[in-house]
Amino acid sequence: MQQGMRIIIVEDETIIAEYLKNVIEGKGHHVKVLLTGDIDFSQYLSENNPDLVFLDIHLNSKQTGVDFAKVCHEQGIAFVYLTSYSDSKTINSAFEHDPIAYILKPFTEEEVYKTLEIAKIKIAQVNQNRFLSLKDGYDTIRVKYVDIRWLKADNIYTEISTDSKKYLQRMPLSEMMDMLPENQFCRVHRSFIVNLERVDRVGSDHLEVAGEQIPLSRSKKTEILERLNQS
């Protein structure tokens, strides 16, 4: 089941920001708009945990989009540049921190749609190689996030179900959640965390993950439906 991305737009021109927000939300993604560059951007990213950021290069503030791009790069967050300038100096500066794309204003809906598709592919490729370190007997192993189905509380332990086997870790579920990316994993019940990318179906009081039913708290159902982009 596909879920919408969490996207932040950093653009100090309100009309452009709102237009871009509407276009992106029309594709089922979740968008926040930041209209100023006068902010602790590193903290803002940590608090909002986006999958993708659209950055205006020339912000009317002390910090530029390139400054923000450096923060994105350091935190491993994919980003796209927005700019009205196409001169070589701007372009060279823009590509210093490995953006996914570069959109020249004024842009069309089709350009935004294509950029979103490129972003989803590249983000998925990155996530394929992200992993969780686990104890397996006397050994330490690395399990890719994409291979994790769900995690279950078992007193002071947590059981982790993967595509190949189950692992038991001496760590409470709450601490395990702190080790996982919030944009991919969610605590759906007091005893369960699920990998949202592995959810196949949402029932009235449960989720179906890889053929198994995982209990779903009533208080979490609305959030889960929104995050899975399901009406």
Over residues 108-125, the pLDDT tens digits come to 999 999 999 998 888 877
Model confidence pLDDT, tens digit, residues 7-47: 999 999 999 999 999 999 999 899 999 998 788 998 998 88
Q: State how far the Cα of 176 lies from the Cα of 193, in Å rounded to an integer.
A: 9
The mean pLDDT of the chain is 88
Model confidence pLDDT, tens digit, residues 194-231: 999 899 999 999 999 999 999 999 999 998 888 886 43
Question: What single-letter amino acid sits at 155?
Answer: N
Q: Which domains does the chain have, with CATH numbers?
A: 6-128 (3.40.50.2300), 131-227 (2.40.50.1020)
- Buried b / exposed e over 18-55, threshold 16 CB at 10 Å, is ebbbebbeebebbbeebeebeeebeebbeeeebbbbbb
Return the DSSP state at 157.
E
Task: Provide mean pLDDT across the span 178-193.
Answer: 89
In terms of C-beta density within 10 A (0-12 exposed, 13-18 middle, 19 or more buried), how is residue 207 classed? Answer: buried
Residue 135 Cα to chain centre, angstroms: 26
